[in-house]
Amino acid sequence: MIVGWCTVLSIILWGLVIDRGVVAWLNRRCDQPFRDGTDFLFSSILPALAISGGAATILGAFHGLRWEIVLPLVVVSMIWRRRDLVAVLGDLAALFRKIAAETKNGNPIPALAAFTCLIICYVWSVQSQFPSGIADVWVFHIPLANSIIDHAGFVSPQIDHPFYGNIPLFFNLLFALVMLVSGHWTGAAVMNIAIFFGFLFLLSSCASRWRACGFFLVAVLILSIPFFRGSVGEPMTDLARSCFSIAAVLFLWRYLETRRPGELFHCALVLGGAVGGKYTELQMVGLIGLALMPTLFRGRVSLPLFLSCLCAFLAVAGYWYAKNLIVLGNPIYPFIFGHPGLTDAWMADYMLELGRAFDPANRHFVTNLATLQGWHDFLHILYNWFLAGKPNAFVALALILAGLAMAFRRIASLAAMTAAMSVIWYTVMFNHIRWATPAYLLFFSTGFIGASLVRERLDRWLDEQILPRITPFKKVASSPACMVASLVIISLLAGGLWIAHWHRLGGSDIDPVQTKEFDVALGMISVDKYMESHREAYFMYRYIADHDLRAVFQPFDTANTLLSTAYNDGRDGGWQLPRYVLPAPGSDIDAFIKNNRIAYFIVPPDAGSAFLAERIGEDKIAIANSVIAHMMPRSSLILMDRFGWKLYRFDADRAS
């Protein structure tokens, strides 16, 4: 984990150094090229990652992602841009000095914000060690990253699947850059944490004066929702591409506010990262283009700036689409134009899956907004899925309305884009709520911008009425005695809370079922104990590996062999048959069992559910059930976990 973080920070540092030189050149005619060093550090993390990813894309296209190539290039470029390197390190040192100075002057908020970031980072880093239970992580994302490492770049297809092996892979490339050094899938999780932190810092830096206080408001609005918080440590690309997409919107807003060319350049960089990560983010090109259109028509964007932004966008996103156009004849393969390597039947099934709700229970909703019922269902979904039971969502809505009332023209484009993205999601991509992540993230971001605009209107009143009254308290708080006493009190309070929580969980006899993810970070329970009690199949698959059971028949888990490997530290003992290994209809079941040496089988509690039948196929479920029914009379239950998963031993010689 430490190696992973060092690698991510090195990647960000290199990107910041290159970015600073470019932005300084673009902003050379501005009275203030940078708002300040802190703003550059906070707002440029995602553009720095985009620059690093763009450079890696160029190297990967020529199979140059090798240590002997990457390291000399990094060293030479750092020497070449040594003045920018010194400037970035100076900005970082100035940030620490500013935090110390503010604390000494009686303002503890910057120090508390920094401490909060460290705590959150530690907790997410611990939680990222939990092997993901999402099959896509082990079927696509980690294999794609490993394939990039193995080939020192890109091939077509990247993995043995014509569709998933040819999709845009910008974020999988970022995963690969970390895993190239760390050698473990947790490196991908660390990269996702860094991307999310980069977005939070960018949003906080959009505030005019109160960046430290703004971070706490960002935390209240966004981090308090499990919808975002629970995805941070997963090696998935959905949250990462959402952060890049909404970062592009925020940079566009900053450009319209400040007219600094560097902001528009950053917008192009992160938009390229988003589009280079998923086809769905092509919608953002249209939305951002529409928002920028009035400025373009008025001639306020110079031709050199436009070309610089276009080159930045294409450098990050262009490779994936150009490669598909050259190799497959379709830049957005396999959509719209053609799908070589995929049958018409496969594409028809895939398009049907994309165009309807993933959960059959949600398929009665009408997504046609040309009808009154469609608008009724749309508003129903917005309220029940995104607002109901979420007080911070109502706070964000109130802040958006307040911002519109205070400064309509400055926030109207953000509110309109939030509405447009919600409509696009519902009418085009109403497959799963995760496709709405960008719209939901922009909703809270717009709420924060609204709060910032309200704060600007209140600045004079706060300076005249509030700040003079708290000055005496600041002097007391800044005294050495008070600072030492505060540290002692906080330490005693934290220790007391830890001991009280430890006793409440049962002391030395802690019940793992009662623990939470945060308890793992507190050191009260190990990762394995927590996973066994909270993740279905984890205990079962660990037990199978520890006792070297084989072969296990498990046809009800779409990623059984992959999860078995992930849950056992990467070991693959061939314990389980792949779930697609089934007898042909009407064939001899005894011969199938004998040929595959089946000695055990698993029956999950949802083996007969309609949802599982749809995901795996009703015909395959029927065949699997016939095999289990054939073995059950000669089997004995040897294990059942707390989720209801049952492991049976099959005795072929026992009479039924």
CA-based R_g, the chain, Å: 27
Q: Which residue has the tokens 């490492």?
A: 149
- What does the CA dihedral 91, 95, 98, 102 come to, rounded to 10 degrees? 160
State whether 550 and 610 are in the same domain.
yes
Residue 200 lies in a domain: yes
Strand partners, 600: 552, 649
Give the end of a domain, one of 297, 320, 355.
355
* Cβ atoms within 10 Å of 259's Cβ, excluding its own: 14
Q: Can you say whether residue 644 is alpha, beta or left, with left for phi > 0 and alpha for psi between -120 and 50 degrees?
A: left
Give the end of a domain, one of 454, 488, 504.
504
State whether 476 and 595 are in the same domain.
no
Q: Residue 462's pLDDT is what?
A: 65
State whether 484 and 547 are in the same domain.
no
| C-beta separation of 549 from 598 below 8 A | no
State whether 245 and 112 are in the same domain.
yes
Q: Which ranges of 355-436 would DSSP assign to H, the alpha helix?
A: 372-386, 391-406, 408-428
State whether 479 and 611 are in the same domain.
no
State whether 44 and 155 are in the same domain.
yes
| C-beta separation of 617 from 508 below 8 A | no
State whether 580 and 476 are in the same domain.
no
Residue 453 lies in a domain: no
Task: Name the stretches of the chain with pLDDT < 50.
Answer: none
| C-beta separation of 269 from 224 below 8 A | no
Residues 6+ apart with CB under 8 A from 283: 421, 424
State whether 481 and 574 are in the same domain.
no
DSSP assignment, residue 371?
A: S
Give the end of a domain, one of 311, 331, 355.
355
Residue 515 lies in a domain: no
Reply yes or no: is the peptide bond before residue 551 cis, omega within 30 of 0. yes
Q: Say how far apart CA 172 and CA 276 lie, in whole Å.
A: 10
Angle between the N-to-C axes of helices 261-275 and 2-26, in degrees from 0 to 180, rounded to the nearest 10: 140
Note down the domain range covering 335: 1-355
Q: Which residue has the tokens 């890109």?
A: 154
Is pTM beyond 0.95? Reply is: no
State whether 489 and 596 are in the same domain.
no
Residue 456 lies in a domain: no
| C-beta separation of 352 from 409 below 8 A | no
State whether 553 and 493 are in the same domain.
no
Residue 398 lies in a domain: no
Residues 6+ apart with CB under 8 A from 590: 630
Q: Residue 34's pLDDT is what?
A: 83
State whether 110 and 178 are in the same domain.
yes
Q: Say how far apart CA 535 and CA 545 lie, in whole Å.
A: 16
Residue 100 lies in a domain: yes
Residue 454 lies in a domain: no
* Tokens describing residue 528: 């394995």
Q: Which residue has the tokens 């970031």?
A: 117
Q: Residue 26's pLDDT is what?
A: 92
Number of domains into which the chain is organized: 3
Exposed e or buried b for every residue in 565-579, given b needs 16+ CB within 10 A? Answer: bbbbeeeeeebbbeb
Residue 596 lies in a domain: yes
State whether 13 and 118 are in the same domain.
yes
